[in-house]
Amino acid sequence: MPYPINIHSFPQAILHLDANAFFASVEQAVNPELMGKPVVVGKERGIVTAVSYEGKALGIKRGMTIREVQKKFPEVIILNSDYEKYSLYSIKMFDILKKFCPIVEEYSIDEAFADLQGLRGYLHQSYETIGLNIKETIKRALGIKVSIGISLTKVLAKIASNYKKPDGLTLISGREIHRYLRDLPVSEVWGIGPQRAALCEKLGIYSALDLASASEEFIRKHFSKPVYEIWLELRGIQVYPVVASTKDQYKSLSKALSFVPTEDKEFLLAQLAFNLERACFKARQYGLLAKRLIVFLKDEEFQTHSFEIKMSLPSAYPKELLPLLTQAFERLYKKEVKFRQVGVILADLTSKRVFQLSLFKRDHSNSQGCLETLYRSVDKINIKYGRTTLVHGVCLPITKEKPLKKGSSLKIPLLSINLT
Protein backbone atom coordinates (compact mmCIF):
# COMPACT_ATOMS: atom_id res chain seq x y z
CA MET A 1 0.00 0.00 0.00
CA PRO A 2 1.47 3.38 -0.90
CA TYR A 3 1.73 5.69 2.09
CA PRO A 4 2.02 9.35 1.34
CA ILE A 5 4.14 10.35 4.29
CA ASN A 6 6.12 9.27 7.32
CA ILE A 7 7.90 6.38 5.70
CA HIS A 8 10.97 7.01 7.80
CA SER A 9 10.89 6.57 11.56
CA PHE A 10 8.82 8.94 13.68
CA PRO A 11 8.73 12.64 12.94
CA GLN A 12 5.85 12.68 15.41
CA ALA A 13 4.83 10.09 17.96
CA ILE A 14 1.88 9.44 20.20
CA LEU A 15 1.87 6.99 23.07
CA HIS A 16 -1.22 5.16 24.27
CA LEU A 17 -1.16 3.58 27.71
CA ASP A 18 -3.77 1.07 28.80
CA ALA A 19 -3.72 -0.61 32.20
CA ASN A 20 -4.50 -4.30 31.94
CA ALA A 21 -7.56 -5.62 33.80
CA PHE A 22 -7.22 -2.45 35.82
CA PHE A 23 -9.63 -2.85 38.76
CA ALA A 24 -8.65 -6.47 39.33
CA SER A 25 -4.94 -5.58 39.03
CA VAL A 26 -5.30 -2.86 41.65
CA GLU A 27 -6.96 -5.33 44.02
CA GLN A 28 -4.07 -7.75 43.47
CA ALA A 29 -1.50 -4.98 43.98
CA VAL A 30 -3.11 -3.89 47.26
CA ASN A 31 -3.50 -7.44 48.56
CA PRO A 32 -0.58 -9.65 47.47
CA GLU A 33 -2.48 -12.76 48.55
CA LEU A 34 -4.61 -12.28 45.45
CA MET A 35 -1.62 -12.30 43.11
CA GLY A 36 -1.75 -15.09 40.55
CA LYS A 37 -5.36 -15.94 41.46
CA PRO A 38 -8.57 -15.48 39.49
CA VAL A 39 -10.15 -12.26 40.83
CA VAL A 40 -13.44 -10.73 39.79
CA VAL A 41 -14.69 -7.26 40.73
CA GLY A 42 -18.34 -6.14 40.75
CA LYS A 43 -19.95 -8.17 43.54
CA GLU A 44 -22.13 -5.27 44.73
CA ARG A 45 -23.62 -4.79 41.27
CA GLY A 46 -24.15 -8.47 40.61
CA ILE A 47 -22.22 -8.16 37.36
CA VAL A 48 -18.55 -8.70 36.51
CA THR A 49 -16.93 -5.29 35.91
CA ALA A 50 -13.31 -6.50 35.81
CA VAL A 51 -11.53 -9.86 35.65
CA SER A 52 -7.89 -10.60 36.40
CA TYR A 53 -5.92 -12.37 33.67
CA GLU A 54 -6.10 -15.61 35.66
CA GLY A 55 -9.90 -15.26 35.59
CA LYS A 56 -9.91 -14.47 31.87
CA ALA A 57 -7.94 -17.65 31.30
CA LEU A 58 -10.83 -19.61 32.87
CA GLY A 59 -13.23 -18.01 30.41
CA ILE A 60 -14.76 -15.36 32.65
CA LYS A 61 -15.81 -12.24 30.76
CA ARG A 62 -16.97 -8.77 31.72
CA GLY A 63 -20.74 -8.49 31.87
CA MET A 64 -21.31 -12.04 33.16
CA THR A 65 -23.48 -12.24 36.26
CA ILE A 66 -21.77 -12.85 39.58
CA ARG A 67 -24.17 -15.72 40.24
CA GLU A 68 -23.05 -17.43 37.05
CA VAL A 69 -19.39 -17.01 38.04
CA GLN A 70 -20.04 -18.41 41.53
CA LYS A 71 -21.79 -21.42 40.07
CA LYS A 72 -19.30 -22.27 37.33
CA PHE A 73 -16.07 -21.18 39.02
CA PRO A 74 -16.38 -21.62 42.80
CA GLU A 75 -12.61 -21.02 43.21
CA VAL A 76 -12.81 -17.43 41.96
CA ILE A 77 -12.37 -14.58 44.44
CA ILE A 78 -15.22 -12.11 44.09
CA LEU A 79 -14.84 -8.56 45.42
CA ASN A 80 -16.88 -5.37 45.76
CA SER A 81 -15.68 -2.48 43.57
CA ASP A 82 -13.85 0.31 45.35
CA TYR A 83 -13.77 3.21 42.91
CA GLU A 84 -11.94 5.52 45.27
CA LYS A 85 -9.07 3.07 45.40
CA TYR A 86 -9.05 2.72 41.61
CA SER A 87 -9.17 6.46 41.02
CA LEU A 88 -6.26 6.91 43.40
CA TYR A 89 -4.22 4.34 41.48
CA SER A 90 -5.24 6.05 38.26
CA ILE A 91 -3.95 9.40 39.54
CA LYS A 92 -0.67 7.82 40.61
CA MET A 93 -0.27 6.02 37.30
CA PHE A 94 -0.85 9.19 35.27
CA ASP A 95 1.50 11.14 37.56
CA ILE A 96 4.26 8.70 36.61
CA LEU A 97 3.42 9.11 32.94
CA LYS A 98 3.57 12.91 33.33
CA LYS A 99 7.08 12.64 34.75
CA PHE A 100 8.20 11.28 31.37
CA CYS A 101 5.92 13.23 29.05
CA PRO A 102 4.50 16.63 29.94
CA ILE A 103 1.54 16.46 27.55
CA VAL A 104 -0.83 13.77 28.83
CA GLU A 105 -4.49 13.34 28.00
CA GLU A 106 -6.34 11.25 30.56
CA TYR A 107 -8.78 9.42 28.35
CA SER A 108 -10.44 7.23 31.00
CA ILE A 109 -9.63 5.87 34.45
CA ASP A 110 -7.13 3.39 32.97
CA GLU A 111 -6.19 4.88 29.59
CA ALA A 112 -4.16 7.89 28.53
CA PHE A 113 -2.50 9.38 25.47
CA ALA A 114 0.81 11.24 25.59
CA ASP A 115 2.54 13.34 22.96
CA LEU A 116 6.14 12.14 22.63
CA GLN A 117 7.23 14.57 19.97
CA GLY A 118 10.59 16.12 20.78
CA LEU A 119 11.18 13.90 23.81
CA ARG A 120 13.81 11.62 22.24
CA GLY A 121 16.34 14.41 22.12
CA TYR A 122 15.31 15.80 25.46
CA LEU A 123 15.50 12.46 27.33
CA HIS A 124 18.34 11.07 25.16
CA GLN A 125 16.30 7.92 24.75
CA SER A 126 14.59 6.10 21.89
CA TYR A 127 10.79 5.93 21.92
CA GLU A 128 11.11 2.25 22.77
CA THR A 129 13.25 2.97 25.83
CA ILE A 130 10.88 5.72 26.96
CA GLY A 131 7.95 3.28 26.67
CA LEU A 132 9.84 0.57 28.52
CA ASN A 133 10.86 2.94 31.31
CA ILE A 134 7.28 4.12 31.80
CA LYS A 135 6.05 0.52 32.02
CA GLU A 136 8.76 -0.55 34.43
CA THR A 137 8.33 2.50 36.68
CA ILE A 138 4.58 1.89 36.95
CA LYS A 139 5.15 -1.80 37.68
CA ARG A 140 7.72 -1.06 40.36
CA ALA A 141 5.82 1.79 42.05
CA LEU A 142 2.27 0.48 41.85
CA GLY A 143 2.56 -3.25 41.16
CA ILE A 144 0.33 -3.13 38.08
CA LYS A 145 1.00 -4.02 34.45
CA VAL A 146 0.20 -1.70 31.55
CA SER A 147 0.33 -2.11 27.80
CA ILE A 148 1.87 0.66 25.75
CA GLY A 149 1.54 1.44 22.08
CA ILE A 150 3.55 4.05 20.21
CA SER A 151 2.85 5.22 16.71
CA LEU A 152 2.24 8.22 14.47
CA THR A 153 -1.37 8.93 15.41
CA LYS A 154 -3.87 8.26 18.18
CA VAL A 155 -5.77 5.67 16.15
CA LEU A 156 -2.54 3.78 15.37
CA ALA A 157 -1.25 4.10 18.95
CA LYS A 158 -4.47 2.48 20.18
CA ILE A 159 -4.02 -0.38 17.76
CA ALA A 160 -0.43 -0.73 18.99
CA SER A 161 -1.31 -0.87 22.71
CA ASN A 162 -3.98 -3.45 21.98
CA TYR A 163 -1.61 -5.61 19.95
CA LYS A 164 0.10 -7.26 22.91
CA LYS A 165 -1.60 -7.65 26.27
CA PRO A 166 -0.89 -7.80 29.16
CA ASP A 167 2.37 -6.01 29.75
CA GLY A 168 2.97 -5.27 26.06
CA LEU A 169 5.06 -2.64 24.30
CA THR A 170 4.42 -2.23 20.59
CA LEU A 171 5.80 0.36 18.21
CA ILE A 172 4.28 0.86 14.80
CA SER A 173 6.44 2.92 12.47
CA GLY A 174 5.22 4.31 9.17
CA ARG A 175 6.72 1.52 7.10
CA GLU A 176 5.14 -1.21 9.27
CA ILE A 177 1.59 0.11 9.39
CA HIS A 178 0.25 -2.37 6.84
CA ARG A 179 1.53 -5.34 8.86
CA TYR A 180 -0.58 -4.38 11.85
CA LEU A 181 -3.70 -3.47 9.88
CA ARG A 182 -3.83 -6.55 7.69
CA ASP A 183 -5.38 -8.96 10.20
CA LEU A 184 -7.32 -6.40 12.19
CA PRO A 185 -11.09 -6.45 11.59
CA VAL A 186 -12.27 -2.97 10.63
CA SER A 187 -14.83 -3.09 13.48
CA GLU A 188 -11.91 -3.06 15.97
CA VAL A 189 -10.54 0.28 14.78
CA TRP A 190 -11.12 3.04 17.33
CA GLY A 191 -14.12 5.10 16.21
CA ILE A 192 -15.58 2.49 13.84
CA GLY A 193 -18.69 1.34 15.67
CA PRO A 194 -20.97 -1.53 14.61
CA GLN A 195 -22.95 0.70 12.22
CA ARG A 196 -19.90 1.98 10.36
CA ALA A 197 -18.42 -1.52 10.32
CA ALA A 198 -21.62 -2.79 8.68
CA LEU A 199 -21.38 -0.09 6.01
CA CYS A 200 -17.71 -0.97 5.45
CA GLU A 201 -18.56 -4.63 4.92
CA LYS A 202 -21.27 -3.72 2.44
CA LEU A 203 -18.60 -1.89 0.47
CA GLY A 204 -16.19 -4.83 0.65
CA ILE A 205 -14.00 -3.38 3.41
CA TYR A 206 -13.27 -6.04 6.02
CA SER A 207 -9.87 -5.31 7.51
CA ALA A 208 -8.35 -2.08 8.78
CA LEU A 209 -5.92 -2.38 5.87
CA ASP A 210 -8.81 -2.46 3.37
CA LEU A 211 -10.00 0.84 4.82
CA ALA A 212 -6.56 2.46 4.90
CA SER A 213 -5.83 1.38 1.32
CA ALA A 214 -9.04 2.82 -0.15
CA SER A 215 -8.66 5.94 -2.26
CA GLU A 216 -9.55 9.36 -0.92
CA GLU A 217 -12.19 9.66 -3.58
CA PHE A 218 -13.84 6.40 -2.49
CA ILE A 219 -13.80 7.38 1.19
CA ARG A 220 -15.24 10.83 0.53
CA LYS A 221 -17.95 9.36 -1.67
CA HIS A 222 -19.19 6.70 0.73
CA PHE A 223 -18.43 7.92 4.23
CA SER A 224 -18.95 10.88 6.57
CA LYS A 225 -16.21 13.15 7.92
CA PRO A 226 -15.38 11.06 11.04
CA VAL A 227 -14.52 8.02 8.88
CA TYR A 228 -12.44 10.23 6.57
CA GLU A 229 -10.50 11.40 9.65
CA ILE A 230 -9.97 7.82 10.84
CA TRP A 231 -8.79 6.94 7.32
CA LEU A 232 -6.19 9.72 7.54
CA GLU A 233 -5.07 8.60 11.00
CA LEU A 234 -4.71 5.00 9.80
CA ARG A 235 -2.40 6.33 7.08
CA GLY A 236 -0.22 8.05 9.67
CA ILE A 237 -1.58 11.57 9.26
CA GLN A 238 -2.42 13.19 12.58
CA VAL A 239 -5.94 14.56 12.85
CA TYR A 240 -6.59 14.13 16.56
CA PRO A 241 -4.15 16.02 18.79
CA VAL A 242 -3.26 15.00 22.34
CA VAL A 243 -5.10 17.48 24.53
CA ALA A 244 -3.51 17.76 27.95
CA SER A 245 -5.95 17.22 30.82
CA THR A 246 -5.86 19.82 33.55
CA LYS A 247 -6.97 19.91 37.13
CA ASP A 248 -9.54 22.53 36.09
CA GLN A 249 -11.68 19.53 35.29
CA TYR A 250 -12.20 19.26 39.02
CA LYS A 251 -13.65 22.65 39.89
CA SER A 252 -15.90 20.96 42.38
CA LEU A 253 -16.30 17.55 43.94
CA SER A 254 -19.51 16.16 45.32
CA LYS A 255 -20.46 13.10 47.29
CA ALA A 256 -23.99 12.07 48.23
CA LEU A 257 -25.74 9.01 49.58
CA SER A 258 -29.40 7.98 49.42
CA PHE A 259 -31.22 5.80 51.90
CA VAL A 260 -34.70 4.89 53.05
CA PRO A 261 -36.21 8.23 54.31
CA THR A 262 -35.45 8.76 57.98
CA GLU A 263 -35.62 11.48 60.63
CA ASP A 264 -32.85 9.97 62.75
CA LYS A 265 -30.70 13.04 63.38
CA GLU A 266 -27.60 11.19 64.48
CA PHE A 267 -27.74 8.92 61.45
CA LEU A 268 -28.19 11.84 59.03
CA LEU A 269 -25.25 13.74 60.48
CA ALA A 270 -23.11 10.60 60.33
CA GLN A 271 -24.00 10.13 56.66
CA LEU A 272 -23.10 13.76 55.93
CA ALA A 273 -19.81 13.46 57.80
CA PHE A 274 -18.98 10.31 55.88
CA ASN A 275 -19.68 12.06 52.57
CA LEU A 276 -17.39 14.86 53.70
CA GLU A 277 -14.66 12.32 54.48
CA ARG A 278 -14.98 10.81 51.00
CA ALA A 279 -15.01 14.17 49.17
CA CYS A 280 -12.01 15.42 51.17
CA PHE A 281 -10.14 12.18 50.50
CA LYS A 282 -10.63 12.63 46.77
CA ALA A 283 -9.61 16.30 46.88
CA ARG A 284 -6.43 15.39 48.79
CA GLN A 285 -5.55 12.76 46.21
CA TYR A 286 -5.72 15.43 43.53
CA GLY A 287 -3.71 17.88 45.65
CA LEU A 288 -6.71 20.22 45.89
CA LEU A 289 -8.18 22.37 48.65
CA ALA A 290 -11.73 23.76 48.70
CA LYS A 291 -12.69 27.35 49.39
CA ARG A 292 -16.42 26.65 49.75
CA LEU A 293 -18.41 23.86 51.34
CA ILE A 294 -22.03 23.25 50.35
CA VAL A 295 -24.15 20.96 52.49
CA PHE A 296 -27.48 19.65 51.24
CA LEU A 297 -30.34 17.48 52.47
CA LYS A 298 -33.13 16.13 50.29
CA ASP A 299 -36.44 15.48 52.05
CA GLU A 300 -39.04 12.83 51.43
CA GLU A 301 -40.82 15.13 48.96
CA PHE A 302 -37.59 15.51 46.96
CA GLN A 303 -37.13 19.13 48.08
CA THR A 304 -33.48 20.07 48.47
CA HIS A 305 -32.35 22.23 51.39
CA SER A 306 -28.82 23.58 51.19
CA PHE A 307 -26.41 25.75 53.09
CA GLU A 308 -23.17 27.20 51.86
CA ILE A 309 -20.06 28.06 53.88
CA LYS A 310 -17.11 30.09 52.68
CA MET A 311 -13.91 29.02 54.39
CA SER A 312 -11.42 31.56 55.67
CA LEU A 313 -8.68 29.15 54.57
CA PRO A 314 -9.04 26.56 51.81
CA SER A 315 -9.12 23.04 53.24
CA ALA A 316 -9.54 19.35 52.46
CA TYR A 317 -9.34 18.22 56.07
CA PRO A 318 -12.47 16.93 57.85
CA LYS A 319 -10.99 17.92 61.21
CA GLU A 320 -11.31 21.58 60.15
CA LEU A 321 -14.52 21.21 58.18
CA LEU A 322 -16.62 19.01 60.49
CA PRO A 323 -17.53 21.82 62.92
CA LEU A 324 -18.73 23.90 59.95
CA LEU A 325 -20.65 20.94 58.54
CA THR A 326 -22.33 20.39 61.90
CA GLN A 327 -23.41 24.05 62.09
CA ALA A 328 -24.85 23.87 58.58
CA PHE A 329 -26.67 20.64 59.41
CA GLU A 330 -28.22 22.20 62.56
CA ARG A 331 -29.69 24.96 60.38
CA LEU A 332 -31.06 22.57 57.77
CA TYR A 333 -32.39 19.78 59.96
CA LYS A 334 -36.08 19.93 60.88
CA LYS A 335 -37.71 17.71 63.43
CA GLU A 336 -40.36 15.36 62.09
CA VAL A 337 -39.17 15.75 58.52
CA LYS A 338 -37.84 12.63 56.87
CA PHE A 339 -34.80 12.95 54.65
CA ARG A 340 -33.87 10.57 51.83
CA GLN A 341 -30.48 11.91 50.76
CA VAL A 342 -27.63 13.99 52.14
CA GLY A 343 -24.52 15.26 50.45
CA VAL A 344 -21.65 17.70 50.35
CA ILE A 345 -19.99 19.67 47.58
CA LEU A 346 -16.45 20.95 47.84
CA ALA A 347 -16.34 23.96 45.53
CA ASP A 348 -13.83 26.55 44.28
CA LEU A 349 -11.06 23.99 44.37
CA THR A 350 -7.56 25.33 44.30
CA SER A 351 -4.21 23.59 43.94
CA LYS A 352 -2.56 22.94 47.29
CA ARG A 353 0.84 23.91 45.97
CA VAL A 354 -0.30 27.33 44.69
CA PHE A 355 -2.05 28.02 47.96
CA GLN A 356 0.94 27.08 50.12
CA LEU A 357 3.24 29.33 48.10
CA SER A 358 0.89 32.26 48.56
CA LEU A 359 0.74 31.62 52.29
CA PHE A 360 4.42 32.28 52.70
CA LYS A 361 5.08 32.11 56.40
CA ARG A 362 1.76 32.92 57.91
CA ASP A 363 0.88 31.16 61.17
CA HIS A 364 -1.72 28.98 59.50
CA SER A 365 0.87 27.17 57.47
CA ASN A 366 1.95 25.22 60.52
CA SER A 367 -1.45 23.93 61.55
CA GLN A 368 -2.21 23.06 57.92
CA GLY A 369 1.14 21.32 57.70
CA CYS A 370 0.26 19.16 60.73
CA LEU A 371 -3.12 18.30 59.22
CA GLU A 372 -1.48 17.40 55.95
CA THR A 373 0.88 14.99 57.69
CA LEU A 374 -1.93 13.50 59.79
CA TYR A 375 -4.18 12.90 56.79
CA ARG A 376 -1.38 11.47 54.71
CA SER A 377 -1.13 8.66 57.29
CA VAL A 378 -4.93 8.30 57.51
CA ASP A 379 -5.18 8.00 53.73
CA LYS A 380 -2.49 5.34 53.61
CA ILE A 381 -4.33 3.22 56.17
CA ASN A 382 -7.71 3.64 54.51
CA ILE A 383 -6.32 2.76 51.10
CA LYS A 384 -4.81 -0.38 52.49
CA TYR A 385 -7.60 -1.59 54.77
CA GLY A 386 -10.74 0.03 53.32
CA ARG A 387 -12.22 3.51 53.35
CA THR A 388 -14.02 3.20 56.67
CA THR A 389 -11.07 1.96 58.70
CA LEU A 390 -10.15 5.36 60.09
CA VAL A 391 -13.04 7.83 60.25
CA HIS A 392 -14.08 10.62 62.57
CA GLY A 393 -16.18 9.54 65.53
CA VAL A 394 -19.22 11.40 64.25
CA CYS A 395 -19.47 8.89 61.35
CA LEU A 396 -19.89 5.95 63.71
CA PRO A 397 -23.71 5.86 63.86
CA ILE A 398 -23.54 4.68 60.24
CA THR A 399 -22.74 1.30 61.69
CA LYS A 400 -26.21 1.23 63.29
CA GLU A 401 -28.19 -1.14 61.13
CA LYS A 402 -30.04 1.18 58.73
CA PRO A 403 -31.58 -0.05 55.55
CA LEU A 404 -29.60 1.50 52.72
CA LYS A 405 -31.09 1.83 49.30
CA LYS A 406 -30.48 -0.99 46.87
CA GLY A 407 -27.14 -0.63 45.19
CA SER A 408 -25.49 1.36 47.95
CA SER A 409 -23.61 -0.35 50.68
CA LEU A 410 -21.38 0.60 53.54
CA LYS A 411 -18.84 -1.57 55.19
CA ILE A 412 -18.73 -1.59 58.94
CA PRO A 413 -15.47 -0.12 60.18
CA LEU A 414 -12.92 -2.66 61.31
CA LEU A 415 -11.54 -0.16 63.71
CA SER A 416 -12.60 3.39 64.23
CA ILE A 417 -10.54 5.97 65.98
CA ASN A 418 -11.95 9.31 66.93
CA LEU A 419 -9.69 11.86 65.30
CA THR A 420 -11.26 14.90 66.94
Nearer to Mg ion, 18 or 229 (CB): 18
Measured between alpha carbons, how far is residue 344 from residues 218, 280, 290, 321, 328 in Å? 55, 10, 12, 11, 11
Q: Considering the complex, what minimum distance in angstroms separates the CB of residue 111 from Mg ion?
A: 6
For CA atoms 334, 335, 341, 346, give the dihedral sign: positive
Q: Considering the complex, what minimum distance in angstroms separates the CB of residue 20 from Mg ion?
A: 6
Give the pairing of strands 339-351 and 288-299. Answer: antiparallel
Segment near Mg ion (CB under 5 A); pick from 17-25, 215-223, 307-315, 340-348: 17-25
Q: Considering the complex, what minimum distance in angstroms separates the CB of residue 162 from Mg ion?
A: 10
Burial of residue 220, with CB atoms counted within 10 A of its CB: 0-12 exposed, 13-18 middle, 19 or more buried: middle
Angle of helix 364-385 relative to helix 265-285, nearest 10 degrees? 100
Among 15, 16, 17, 18, binds Mg ion (CB under 5 A): 18
Segment near Mg ion (CB under 5 A); pick from 63-71, 105-113, 162-170, 183-191: 105-113
Total residues binding Mg ion (CB under 5 A): 2
Segment near Mg ion (CB under 5 A); pick from 18-26, 46-54, 238-246, 258-266: 18-26
Q: Considering the complex, what minimum distance in angstroms separates the CB of residue 388 from Mg ion?
A: 28
Task: Give the active site residues.
Answer: 111
Among 54, 105, 106, 110, binds Mg ion (CB under 5 A): 110
Nearer to Mg ion, 28 or 213 (CB): 28
Nearer to Mg ion, 165 or 402 (CB): 165
Residues 6+ apart with CB under 8 A from 151: 13, 14, 157, 159, 160, 171, 172, 173, 177, 236
Per-residue b or e along 176-207, where b marks 16 or more CB atoms closer than 10 Å to that residue's CB? ebeebbeebebbebbebeeebbebbeeeebeb
Q: Considering the complex, what minimum distance in angstroms separates the CB of residue 21 from Mg ion?
A: 7
Other Cβ atoms less than 10 A from the Cβ of 291: the count is 17
Nearer to Mg ion, 18 or 210 (CB): 18
Burial of residue 170, with CB atoms counted within 10 A of its CB: 0-12 exposed, 13-18 middle, 19 or more buried: buried
Q: Considering the complex, what minimum distance in angstroms separates the CB of residue 347 from Mg ion?
A: 32
Considering only residues 325 through 354, tell me which ones interact with Mg ion, judged by CB under 5 A: none
Decide if residue 54 touches Mg ion (CB under 5 A): no
**Pair 196, 189: CB distance under 8 Å:** no
Nearer to Mg ion, 158 or 255 (CB): 158
Angle, vertex CA 89, rays to CA 290 and CA 346, nearest 5: 15
Nearer to Mg ion, 167 or 299 (CB): 167
Segment near Mg ion (CB under 5 A); pick from 50-58, 108-116, 313-321, 334-342: 108-116
What is the binding site for Mg ion (CB under 5 A)? Answer: 18, 110
